[in-house]
Amino acid sequence: MNKNLALGILLLTALNVFAQQQNDTVNKTKLKINGGFESNAQWYLNDTERDIKHPEDPFRSNNYLFLKANYGKFTVGTQVESYYKQALLNYNPAFEGTDFSLYYANYKSDKLDLTAGHFYEQFGSGLILRAWEDRALGINTALRGGRVNFKPFEGVSITALYGKQKSGFHVSEANIFGANTDLDLATLFKQENFGLTVGFSYVMRDQEVSETAFDPDQVNPPSISQQTGAYSGRLGFSKSGFYISSEYSFKDKEPVLETKAVTYNFIKPGNALLLNFGYSERGFGIDATLRRLENMVFLSDREPVVYGPELLSTNYNDRVLNFTPSLTKQHHSNLANIYVYQAQNKVFIDPNGVKKAGEIGGQFDIFYNFKKGTSLGGKYGTKVALNASNWFNLDAEYSTRAVQISTPNAEYTFDVNDYDAKFLAGSQKYFSDYNIEISKKLSKDFRGSLIYVNQYYNDQYIRGVAFDNVVKTNIIFAEGIYTFSGGKAITAGLEHMWADNDRGNWASLSLEYNHNMNWSVYLMDMYNYGYEENTELIAGDIDAFDIHFYNAGVTYRKNSSRFSVGYGRQRGGLVCAGGVCRFVPASTGVSFTITTSF
């Protein structure tokens, strides 16, 4: 740790202690100091049954200290991060060492909001810009620069920004400029019977084209613009229980990001269409979300950082400007999260196999509450939720053309891919999820739910595996919560998956006991069985069949602090939150978590 970092931490900590000890002074000056600390640690162990050996540094931890001081309309803050001795397995390699990760100064009044330093921002749904943080996924894409938000009067919000995107303790090479306007027309025209909003956004990445992108002797290199713009327009309307909103985004032509790098002779624009509509009233609701993505990868640096033969910064959701989460049901079932869908916003063309340029599909939800006293509602009422999602590859014509390059010394020919996608048509099916959940209170102390899930997962088109592998599953999940006197409660969940391919069937049992507001313990086991091993499906870093994935732990909460310790096995695969996923390797070990705020 360098001297400036140590001095900064010392000063901020001293400021916090001083403020807490001088309550009278704090109240008189209206100075407020607060912050938080979070530590997620893991001690990785050997597991002979899984053929896992702990890494060279078995103890690893991700640590975050956030401090903020507010005085009237002014706020300053910083976040220090430490990854000791290394970050947890498969976190971004840019997370290394200890340093100041974020710092900012902010002035905010009723009409003006000014920020210098690091900041988070989202335009619309995030299709062209979302800077955000999710520590569980290892994501922090804050911008470092300046932002101005101006609200001249009610119903109008205007934002302008400039920055470079955060990547670990560093920032991207490109300059990012953005502007956004949101208008609440119903408020502007004093209409109370309906809602009407419009929004417009613009984001521009300015980055020099690398001199190594082309052969230095090439006579006619492709024309690549230094600036890449993205544009977005939004419209929303609501009246009574009905609502509808739409957003269309367009990205300028730029070299396409294929498997590992951008292709400077394959230049295409990108676009996205998002539509959401529904109706709700007491006891009933229906919602639909439709989306089309085509070549909608938008990075803060034109080319991703290469960490290894198969590892790019995009594998860690790093240096990504926009936000394209999967629009599917976010299950709390353990087994329904084995085959999870990831939004297909990239172009991938394999001359002998998978060809895709994006996705098209949607998700539908219906909610209905049967009233108390009815035949289906019973004494306490019954809630039913239906959900369905379907996602497909874009219907497109793919082609490969020969391009001849002339240099003073020679001429050579290579193949360049291209495609032409239809706007509202799909082809190969990626994924589907149909599910129904029935929730009911059976007595004053017991309530439960029963969930059925049917999934279709096209492994070849979603992950790009080399062989045709479609997995179809059926899942039953039953969960019950019994409440005792004194705030005690026990939650039990039992589920089973029937799968016709890949790893075969799964069973899962989970138990959680909450003793009071402070103490809770949990126990969980997932068991994979029922499929004859196929070496084509199981790689060397994947667990064997017929294996238990057990986990147990205890949690203690006190005021705003939380402490937990656990032991168990982590199944290798995707961990997802809010439709965004991170791959985690198979591991076994002891975990520790501490979070507190003040």
Domain boundaries, the chain: 109-321
Give dist(CA 547, CA 508) in Å, integer.
12
Task: Per-residue pLDDT tens, the chain, 598 aa: give them.
Answer: 454 454 345 445 444 544 454 444 445 568 999 999 999 999 999 998 888 888 889 999 999 999 999 999 999 999 999 998 899 998 999 999 999 999 999 999 999 999 999 999 999 999 999 999 999 999 999 999 999 999 999 999 999 999 999 999 999 999 999 999 999 999 999 999 999 999 999 999 999 987 666 655 454 566 788 999 999 999 999 999 999 999 999 999 999 987 667 888 889 999 999 999 999 999 999 999 999 999 999 999 998 988 877 788 998 999 999 999 999 999 999 999 999 999 999 999 887 788 999 999 999 999 999 999 899 899 999 999 999 999 999 999 998 888 777 766 777 777 788 999 999 999 999 999 999 999 999 999 999 999 999 999 999 899 877 777 899 999 999 999 999 988 899 999 999 999 988 888 999 999 999 999 999 999 999 999 877 666 555 444 567 778 899 999 999 999 999 999 999 999 888 888 888 988 888 999 999 999 999 9
pLDDT for residue 546: 84
276, amino acid identity? N
Count of all residues that appear for the chain in the document: 598
Taking alpha carbons only, the member of 387, 377, 537 closest to residue 460 is 537
Q: Which two tokens stand for residue 429?
A: 């099916």
pLDDT for residue 22: 47
pLDDT for residue 364: 98
Q: Please state the pTM of the whole predicted model.
A: 0.90
pLDDT for residue 24: 45
Give dist(CA 510, CA 196) in Å, integer.
46
SS3 427: strand
pLDDT for residue 540: 44
Give dist(CA 60, CA 359) in Å, integer.
38
173, amino acid identity? E
CB 175 within 8 A of CB 146: no
Give dist(CA 385, CA 380) in Å, integer.
17
- DSSP one-letter string for 323-339: -----S-----SGGGSS
Give all strands (DSSP E) within 172-261, no chain letters.
Answer: 175-184, 195-206, 227-239, 242-257
pLDDT for residue 538: 46
Give dist(CA 467, CA 461) in Å, integer.
10
Residue found by looking up tokens 């739910």 in the block? 449
